[in-house]
Amino acid sequence: MAAGLRAVRRWGPVAAAPPSPGLVFTRSAFVGKKANNAQPNWPGVGLAFGTSAALWGFLIKQHTEDVMEYERRKQKRGHKCTECS
């Protein structure tokens, strides 16, 4: 990589005058290649949907447990007797 940067510094002034010195050798860090919509990334799609389904399953399970705990505590609070108070 360092050798490539040295070559850029050496041969950079030989090139035609660029519009801006800061934009001569810039690259986007986010786009490596164009997306091919004719061939979707099926493992990525499966991973996304699988993760979503797992999180929804966990959310529903946790909600059910929370409702059961709420009902248990509500019954315990509703207990009225002379010995407890």
pLDDT tens over the chain, length 85 residues: 566 666 656 655 555 555 565 555 666 677 677 878 899 899 999 999 999 999 999 999 999 999 999 999 999 888 776 666 5
Q: pTM here?
A: 0.50
Tell me the DSSP string of 2-69.
HHHHHHHHHHGGGSPPPS-GGGTT---SS-SS---TTS--HHHHHHHHHHHHHHHHHHHHHHHHHHHH
Question: Which residues, including other chains, have CB under 8 Å from residue 15's CB and lie 6 or more apart?
Answer: 24
Token pair listed for 59: 């959310």
> How far is 58 from 7, CA to CA, in rounded Å?
55
Each domain of the chain, given as residue ranges in start order, spans 60-84
